Amino acid sequence: MNESRRRAGLLAGLGCLCLGSLPRAAWASAPARPLQLGLLPITSTRALLKNYQLVQTHLERELGQPVELVTAPDFRTFQANTLKGQYDVIVTASHLGRQAQLDAGYRPLARYRALHRTLLLTARERPLKNIEELRGRSISGPDALTLASIETQAWLQARGLRAGTDFTFIVTPTPPSAAQAVLNRQAVLTVSTPQGMKNTPEDLREQLVVFATLPEIPSLMWLAHPRLGTLVPRLTAALLAFSSESAENRAFFEATGYAGLREVQAAELNTVDVYLPYLREQLKAGQ
């Protein structure tokens, strides 16, 4: 077994998967250890690694050192690894990134221009008519740590409904299974996003209607661990140079729909503070 395969196997055994793109000779002569770039597992490991290969190559070229792509089996593990400082750089959801900034000192680098939008959907044939009808019933949706689920909890609590008390949240593995829970009468609402609906078969989509569209908020952002210190300005410059207008980079933005990168503004970080109590509650409940 060669060295790169041995390293990948060891990391996979620890619940991570890494991939280096530099040739062996370049790794041997690299001026610094590889940067670990942690990717929030919003899709399959294979899809993440495929999508981020262009970014990996760009950063290695701009920084002059190897970059390893690393992920985790689920959101909870990824956030635990983040807060323990396992990753040098992370691409994560805005609420998880804000916690990493406040609790572990991560420094914001950039964010994708595309915004996050949460959709609440109900069955077309027997639609939920108002929020009060949700009492004593269930909602289906993704992992409770996702931005969509956290935003939904906050939105409903602001209207007098608390998860676990007034309604039950059923976690489903995929957008189609969340939609099917509504159609099978296991739930009266499902939590999704435009991308989630895109990944749901048309015959299921046609049986659902939008009950509510929640406010748009920043989606994924890049942050660096504080140990990177003086490398942070170079990292930021390298990321902002990864333009969606470049023909070389276009495939990444077409595949992900992220619409380019720009600097993070303090006011944008403040907008997700309202979600941190819900995030901390979910993290505590899973301990």
Instruction: Over range 171-184, report the average pLDDT.
Output: 93
Summarised one tens digit per residue, pLDDT across range 87-104 is 999 999 999 999 999 999
User: Is residue 227 a contact partner of residue 116, using CB atoms and an 8 Å limit?
Assistant: no
Residue 224 forms beta bridges with which residues?
Answer: 89, 107
Say yes or no: 111 and 222 in one domain: yes
- CA separation for the pair 120, 134 (Å, rounded): 12
Say yes or no: 108 and 144 in one domain: no
Instruction: Over range 98-117, report the average pLDDT.
Output: 94
pLDDT band at 4 (very low <50, low <70, confident <90, very high): very low
- Structure token digits, residue 240: 């902002």
Say yes or no: 260 and 122 in one domain: no
In order, the DSSP letters of 67-80 are: EEEE--SSHHHHHH
Query: Which CATH number belongs to the domain containing residue 163 in this structure?
Result: 3.40.190.10
pLDDT band at 29 (very low <50, low <70, confident <90, very high): very low
Summarised one tens digit per residue, pLDDT across range 239-252 is 999 887 777 778 88
Instruction: Over range 210-226, report the average pLDDT.
Output: 94
pLDDT band at 13 (very low <50, low <70, confident <90, very high): very low
- CA separation for the pair 113, 283 (Å, rounded): 28
Say yes or no: 184 and 271 in one domain: no
The SS3 of residue 123 is strand
Instruction: Over range 56-76, report the average pLDDT.
Output: 94
Residue 27 has pLDDT above 90, yes or no: no
Tell me what pLDDT residue 109 has: 96
pLDDT band at 10 (very low <50, low <70, confident <90, very high): very low
Tell me what pLDDT residue 287 has: 65
Summarised one tens digit per residue, pLDDT across range 115-171 is 899 999 999 999 999 999 999 999 999 999 999 999 999 999 999 999 999 999 999
Say yes or no: 265 and 207 in one domain: no
- CA separation for the pair 225, 107 (Å, rounded): 6
Q: How far is CA 25 from CA 30, 31, 206, 248, in A?
A: 9, 12, 54, 25
How many CB atoms are located within 10 Å of the residue 250 CB?
A: 13
Residue 14 has pLDDT above 70, yes or no: no
Q: What percent of the chain has pLDDT over 70?
A: 88
Q: How far is CA 258 from CA 51, 112, 250, 262, in A?
A: 11, 6, 11, 11
Print the domain residue range for 10: 3-115+218-285
Say yes or no: 143 and 101 in one domain: no
Q: CA-based angle 85:87:89, to the nearest 5?
A: 115
How many CB atoms are located within 10 Å of the residue 218 CB?
A: 23
Domain count, the chain: 2
- Mean pLDDT highest for which of 6-10, 102-106, 251-255? 102-106
Single residue among 173, 191, 213 that ends a domain in this structure: 213
Residue 23 has pLDDT above 80, yes or no: no
Q: Is 123 exposed, middle or buried (0-12, 13-18, 19+ CB in 10 A)?
A: buried
Residue recorded with tokens 């949240």: 169
Tell me what pLDDT residue 192 has: 94
- CA separation for the pair 4, 18 (Å, rounded): 10
Helix H or strand E segment including 47: helix 45-63
Residue 21 has pLDDT above 60, yes or no: no
Say yes or no: 124 and 97 in one domain: no
Say yes or no: 148 and 16 in one domain: no
Tell me what pLDDT residue 16 has: 45
- CA separation for the pair 103, 173 (Å, rounded): 29
**DSSP character at residue 31:** S
Instruction: Over range 69-93, report the average pLDDT.
Output: 96
Of 32-36, 101-105, 177-181, 213-217, the one with minimum mean pLDDT is 32-36
Give the number of C-alpha atoms closer than 13 A to the C-alpha of residue 282, restricted to the C-beta side: 26
Say yes or no: 244 and 102 in one domain: yes
Single residue among 190, 213, 236 that ends a domain in this structure: 213
Residue 257 has pLDDT above 90, yes or no: no
Q: What pTM does this model have?
A: 0.84
User: Is residue 168 a contact partner of residue 138, using CB atoms and an 8 Å limit?
Assistant: yes
pLDDT band at 24 (very low <50, low <70, confident <90, very high): very low
Say yes or no: 41 and 103 in one domain: yes
Single residue among 213, 229, 253 that ends a domain in this structure: 213
Say yes or no: 199 and 232 in one domain: no
Summarised one tens digit per residue, pLDDT across range 187-198 is 999 999 988 898
Say yes or no: 70 and 165 in one domain: no
